[in-house]
Amino acid sequence: MADRYLSFTGTAPGRFLTRRLGLPQPAALRRWSPGSPGFVGGVLHLTAGKSELSGPAFPEFPSPSDAPAAVLLDATGVRDVEGLAEVHAALHPVVRSVDASGRVVVLGAPLSSGDHHQAAAQQALEGFTRSLGKEIGRGRTVNLVRLTDTSAAESTLRFLLSPKSAYVSGQVIEVGQPQEVDVDIDRDLPLAGRTALVTGGARGIGAAVAETLARDGARVVVLDVPGASADAERLAARLGGSSLALDVTAPDAGARIAEALPDCLDVLVHNAGITRDRRLANMPAERWSSVLDVNLASVLRTTDALLETGTLRRGGRIVATASIAGLAGNTGQTNYGASKAGVVGLVRSLAPRAAAEHGVTVNAVAPGFIETKMTAAIPLFIREAGRRMNSLGQGGLPVDVAETTAWLAHPASGAVNGQVVRVCGQSLLGA
Ligand code: NAD
């Protein structure tokens, strides 16, 4: 559904009127398109404290010729309150000059359990990042990456410094230790030779995920309920992939996926999801169980089956779909909020074991308000509030979730594990 307010504020009379009335003025976000550069523009590299990063120097990010499009601040060496003054000193003079739709990425260190001054200073970076994200405006985003070694962080920084992360702001992402990386990754087709399965892929966010993974070279299998098979087949044919008509709640769904994928699978995207909203007092058991079954139980069952049978190969990626409703809660969504919080629990518990036992990462995307048929069905005033109540003042697009999924699915993202990344424009709902 088109965001008419955003279109209106992009016109001269719209800008004039909204300024005079003190109404929000969301910026049109710059997103990736074929042929557009990988970075939002020149990256200004700053340091606060003495860097504690190990590993090779970061690859050459483009330098700014004039005002920076992005600022990368290495604050891993900030160990105390005095060190935080260096964060202020580094960013205060430049923050205003960062381009519209630009990026600020702060690099932080893991919190020390033996040094509470370091832990306080590093935790302070989180409040700093989230606050700057709320005030910076003009479609600019601010994120924090916690890491110790540069060699595992390239795919994450490339994503956050690119137009592909347009709707990701106010996030704290942990990058762990480097994993075995396929040295021959084609930068334009990183998923070449890999197979990706997207549940609920016939429309909405799932269709965008399927398109984006296919753009990155994957052979995509579009799974959806038999009632959506015409759409699934059409999309799969366009992407040179295949479709699978299957209800993910079928008890043998895992076995049927394994059977349909004799050559195994590299990327499993749990995207299928439903809402059946009612306040708890009015919610029949059927509404509760159908949502829990599609959004959570089937995710658990198929994940277990595909790991146990080895259908998901070593080096594989699982990306599940949570929601900010699972993090913040939402009126009328006790069933949906429970199911999506369950997805977060699954990710946090399984991630370290799946990496150790199967060589597979497990992460989640948590969309905020994304413009799809699901959100088009929300009553007008609630819909308008959902759209505006975030730092970017607008809803996201399915492609924003898809690009985040593609980064998590990237062969070089093996050190990103157990993360729940919100794609919500820094929604005011939840942490
Ligand atoms: P959508 O309703 O447009 O698409 C969901 C797809 O899942 C449909 O194609 C549907 O047929 C399929 N599906 C439903 N039940 C299925 C089942 N049992 N087996 C197989 N396929 C099934 O929804 P969307 O807005 O694109 O949402 C996609 C995911 O993102 C969902 O998990 C949703 O909860 C989550 N999400 C969406 C938003 C948003 O703002 N749209 C926000 C947060 C989270």
Domain spans in the chain, listed from the N-terminal domain onward: 31-174, 195-423
Closest ligand 1 atom, residue 395 Cα? 40
Of 414, 222, 253, 175, give the one whose Cα is nearest residue 318.
414
Over range 308-331, report the average pLDDT.
96
How far is 154 from 273, CA to CA, in rounded Å? 31
pLDDT at 431: 57
Residue range 102-106: average pLDDT? 98
Residue 10 has pLDDT above 80, yes or no: no
Order the strands of the 242-245 sheet from edge to edge. 242-245, 219-224, 195-199, 265-270, 312-321, 361-367, 420-423
Cβ proximity of 345 and 357 under 8 Å: no
CB-ligand 1 contact for 249 (6 Å cutoff): yes
Q: Would you say the CATH fold of 195-423 matches that of 31-174?
A: yes
Confidence band for 22, pLDDT divided at 50, 70 and 90: low
Identity (one letter) of the amino acid at 213? L
Residue among 163, 72, 75 at smallest CA distance from 126: 75
Atom of ligand 1 nearest to the CA of 204: 26
According to the model, what pLDDT value does residue 19 have? 66
pLDDT band for 379, please (50, 70, 90 cuts): confident
pLDDT digits 0-9 by tens, 40-96: 899 999 999 999 999 988 878 889 888 899 999 999 999 999 999 999 999 999 999
Q: In what order do the strands lie in the sheet with 172-174?
A: 43-49, 70-77, 103-108, 141-146, 172-174
pLDDT tier at 5 (50, 70, 90 boundaries)?
confident
Spacing, Cα 351 to ligand 1 middle (Å): 23
Amino acid letter at 259?
Answer: E
- 3-class SS string, the chain: CCCHHHHHHCCHHHHHHHHHHCCCCCCCCCCCCCCCCCCCCCEEEEEEECCCCECCCCCCCCCCCCCCCEEEEEEEECCCHHHHHHHHHHHCCCHHHCCCCCEEEEEECCCCCCCHHHHHHHHHHHHHHHHHHHHCCCCCEEEEEECCEHHHCHHHHHHHCCHHHCCCCCCEEECCCCCCCCCCCCCCCCCCCCEEEEECCCCHHHHHHHHHHHHCCCEEEEEECHHHHHHHHHHHHHHCCEEEECCCCCCCHHHHHHHHCCCCEEEEEECCCCCCCECHHHCCHHHHHHHHHHHHHHHHHHHHHHHHCCCEEEEEEEEEECCHHHHHCCCCEHHHHHHHHHHHHHHHHHHHHHHHHHCCEEEEEEECCECCHHHHCCCHHHHHHHHHCECCCCCECHHHHHHHHHHHHCCCCCCCCCCEEEECCCECCCC
pLDDT tens column, 238-282 = 999 999 999 999 999 999 999 999 998 999 999 999 999 999 999
- Short-list 126, 124, 271, CA closest to 211: 271
* Residue nearest (by alpha carbon) to ligand 1 atom 10: 200
Does the domain at residues 31-174 carry the CATH identifier 3.40.50.720?
A: yes
Report yes or no: 406 and 216 within 8 Å, Cβ to Cβ: yes
pLDDT at 37: 86
Between 50-59, 165-174, 316-325, the lowest mean confidence (pLDDT) is in 50-59
Please give the CATH number for the structural domain made up of 195-423.
Answer: 3.40.50.720
User: What is the structure's pLDDT at 375?
Assistant: 86
The mean pLDDT of 305-309, rounded to a whole number, is 97
Please tell me the predicted confidence (pLDDT) of residue 16.
Answer: 65
Average pLDDT over all residues of the chain: 94
How confident is the model over 305-314, as a mean pLDDT? 97
Q: What's the DSSP call for residue 344?
A: H
pLDDT, position 36: 87
Is the predicted pLDDT of residue 12 greater than 90, yes or no?
no
- What pLDDT sits at residue 61? 87
Residue bearing tokens 């980064």: 407
Q: Is the dihedral of CA 154, 161, 75, 324 positive or negative?
A: negative
pTM for the model: 0.96
Active site residue 336: yes
Amino acid 170: pLDDT: 98
Buried b vs exposed e over 400-419: b needs ≥16 C-beta within 10 Å? bbbbbbbbbbbbbbbbbbbb
pLDDT at 386: 85
Residue with tokens 């994200």: 133
- pLDDT of 293: 98
CA of 203 to the centre of ligand 1 (A): 8
Pick the closest to residue 317 from 199, 240, 405 (CA basis): 405
Q: Tell me what the mean pLDDT of segment 224-247 comes to.
A: 98
206 CB within 6 A, ligand 1 = yes
The whole-number average pLDDT for the span 311-339 is: 96
Q: pLDDT above 90 covers what percent of the chain?
A: 82
Instruction: Tell me: pLDDT of 401 over 60.
Output: yes
197, 198, 203, 205, best to mutate for ligand 1 pocket (most atoms within 8 Å of CB) = 205
Confidence tier at 21 by pLDDT (50, 70, 90): low
- Higher-confidence residue: 7 or 288? 288
**C-alpha of residue 321 to centroid of ligand 1, in Å:** 9
Q: How confident is the model at residue 377 (pLDDT cuts 50, 70, 90)?
A: confident
pLDDT (mean) for 24-38? 88
**147 or 184, which is more confident?**
147
Mean pLDDT of 151-164: 95
- Is the shortest distance between the CB of 369 and ligand 1 below 6 Å? yes
Ligand 1 centroid vs 69 CA: distance in angstroms? 34
Q: Which atom of ligand 1 is nearest to the CA of 374?
A: 25
- Minimum mean pLDDT range among 58-62, 223-227, 294-298, 318-322: 58-62
Q: Which of 32, 159, 167, 336 is catalytic?
A: 336
Question: Pick from 410, 421, 403, 358: which is nearest to 181 by CA?
Answer: 410
Amino acid present at 8: F
